[in-house]
Amino acid sequence: GLFGWSPPEPQSPYLHTSAERVAVEVQEQIDAEAEEMDHPPAAVQFSRPFACADSLD
């Protein structure tokens, strides 16, 4: 630590736990958004072959 001082040991587990909790919450939000977005990407992929066929003409 700074000038030979280091924070008390019990502090770091709490910091790591809260950081992990935030990461889990963010991942859950991403998963929820991914589930909502499942259908539009399928529609986009469905239209792509037509775009390719148009470019060949």
Q: Considering its fold, how many domains does the chain have in total?
A: 1
The predicted pLDDT at position 25 comes to 78
Distances (CA, A) of 5 to 8, 15, 20, 57: 9, 18, 26, 73
Assign residue 4 a region (left: φ > 0; alpha: ψ between -120 and 50; beta: otherwise): left
Identify whether 1 is part of a domain: no
Identify whether 5 is part of a domain: no
The predicted pLDDT at position 49 comes to 64
pTM (2 d.p.): 0.29
d(CA 52, CA 57): 9
Identify whether 3 is part of a domain: no
Note the pLDDT tens digit of each residue in 3-38. 677 766 655 555 556 666 667 777 787 777 766 655
The predicted pLDDT at position 32 comes to 77
Q: Which residue type, as a one-letter code, is found at position 15?
A: L
Full residue range of the structural domain in which residue 20 is found: 10-56
Identify whether 2 is part of a domain: no
